[in-house]
A and B are shown apart, each in its own frame.
Chain A
Amino acid sequence: MSPVARLMSRRSIAMRRHRCFAGGRPAGSGMRYNAFQILKQGLAGNRGWRPAWRKPDPKPEYDVLIIGGGGHGLATAYYLAAEHGLRNVAVLEKGYLGSGNVGRNTTIVRANYGLPGNSQFYSHSLRLWEGLEQELNYNVMHSQRGIINLFHSDGQRDAAARRGNAMLNQGDDAILLDRAECRAMLPYLDHDQTRFPIYGGLYHPRGGTARHDAVAWGYARGADRQGVDLIETCEVTGIDIAGGKVTGVQTTRGAIRARKVAIVVAGRSSQVAAMAGLRLPIESHVLQAFVTEGLKPVIDHVVTYGMGHFYISQSDKGGLVFGGDLDFYPSYAARGNLPMAEHVMEAGMTLMPMLGRARVLRSWGGIMDMSPDGSPIIDHAPVDGLFVNCGWCYGGFKAVPGSGHCFAHLIATGQPHPAAARYRLDRFETGRGLMDEEGTGAQHNLH
């Protein structure tokens, strides 16, 4: 479908769902995107498009300061304004918007978790994804192409069936594929490989991918249109606390006062939390990803090969996007080492021998906020007015809408959103409510 046709087909839906931007729109600079604008701007030589958000200077005081202009921070700002009417809000970003992990992931969106806590949260997030483009009036290229998790033994089939039932129970979709169905859907895999022959797969049709940068840009534009100040190249250098309460932050662009400050900087959580005297249950690790040259459509779904620590999808531009497991040593380098790159290539070749014909264009690493149990944290920090959102491990991208939505709820109301009520900071200390999805133990270095 051409971009114009795509926009036109969505226009009627968008026209009915404009509550977010209705009424008293403050200083935001963006225009609504629709087919009429494309036509109008096209006829005028495309000289009328304006920047999607302003570049304001920081004011001396805000109601809420959000540290971190990535996907989660921008989504938090958006939902604070859209759902809770809080518009005197600033997002402080040390680089440019979306310059961190939101642009360094492999773009997968899914709700295939099994444990209480994760189950309702990712289900909530997936439902937000499904209305996101209409909500934001922005094409985030959300594509529900389906995810297939392969399994390779009878025991793994049982585990997949159990997980599939958990997904159905949480209100999402799951289909257990047998050997023949898997072969029909994924004819290009080596199904009879001697190492891990494919017994079938757990198919999650509503899973898929989205354009990662566009998610950050869409939330940024949506927040800006409601008056949120997005302040780039503004690094927080200190958090001001007086009498056990947050009073503001120090930044490279001066001091800013606020009664509520939210830390949402996965990848640098430990450093920012240390400014408030906190030590977090977080280790930062590197996860590598790889992309090939653009190819004609060949992979229709997201395919995961757990036994090889390998997963792959094809971007809309044609590149095969794939990755593996952590390098397993703490790192902030945003790049990994060759042994893991080699392991990922070997696993890919085992599963999908045709991969050897593609040329890898580039590889990179993201900085993962690893928590001891592999699940995230959205909670009050032990300082009045300070909130913390961290520990997304290697699953932060799909969580962006849910995380922003639930974090905004916590900041605005002081109460956790029901979908994220189990993401407590104190669960490691008390041992209550650990969400160890892999069943390996709630210890660092095991996830």
Chain B
Amino acid sequence: MLIPCPLCGPRDLREFSPRGAAVTLERPDAEALPEEWHAYLHLRDNPAGATRELWWHGAGCGAWLIVERNTVTHEVIGVSLVTGEPEQ
């Protein structure tokens, strides 16, 4: 599996660490209900097909990436940088 890093180009899987579904970017407000925190921390759609994940290019440029990937075929569909701006 090659992941095309927006900064470095296509790089080997060994350079990256997966960090799970990209829902981790959608942190609830501090006042959010316990159910929302439970959903954020534990519940997952876990799709068989296209998914959005957070990966870290730790052995490369160190950027955090949003990787769109197919969990059935391992095809990487698209990669973008995590901007630090809240998701719309």
Q: A residues touching B (Cβ–Cβ < 8 Å)?
A: 268, 270-271, 274, 279-284, 328-333, 337, 339, 372, 428-429, 443-445
Contact = CB atoms under 8 A, between A and B. Distances in A.
B79 interface: no
Given A329-B18, A330-B53, A332-B72, A443 B46 contact: no
Contacts of A271: 48
B51 interface: yes
A372 B42 CA distance: 7
A330 B1 CA distance: 13
Interface SS of chain B: helix, strand, loop or mixed? mixed
B20 A445 contact: yes
A329 B17 CA distance: 8
Contacts of A330: 18, 20-21, 46, 51, 53, 71
B44 A332 contact: no
Contacts of A443: 41
Contacts of A331: 71, 74
Contact count band on B: 20 to 34
Given A283-B46, A372-B41, 4 more contacts: A328-B18, A330-B51, A337-B1, A429-B35
B23 to A, nearest CB: 10
B49 to A, nearest CB: 8
22 contacts: A270-B44, A270-B48, A279-B39, A280-B43, A280-B46, A281-B43, A283-B21, A284-B46, A284-B48, A329-B18, A330-B18, A330-B46, A330-B53, A331-B74, A332-B48, A333-B73, A339-B12, A428-B38, A444-B20, A444-B21, A444-B44, A445-B19
A331 B1 CA distance: 12
Interface string B11-28: 011100111110000000
Interface of B: 1, 12-14, 17-21, 34-35, 38-39, 41-48, 51, 53, 69, 71-74
B42 A329 contact: no
Top 4 A-B pairs, shortest CB-CB distance = A270-B46, A281-B42, A329-B18, A279-B43
Contacts of B73: 333
A279 B17 CA distance: 25
Given A270-B45, A444-B44, A339 B18 contact: no
A344 to B, nearest CB: 14
A51 to B, nearest CB: 32
A329 B74 CA distance: 10
A428 B42 CA distance: 7
A281 B44 contact: yes
Nearest to A329: B18
Contact of A282 (B20, B46, B51, B69): B46
A393 to B, nearest CB: 14
A397 B51 CA distance: 28
B26 to A, nearest CB: 14
Nearest to B49: A332
B74 A337 contact: yes
Most buried by A among B14, B43, B73: B43
Contacts of A372: 41-42
Nearest to B34: A429
Contacts of B14: 339
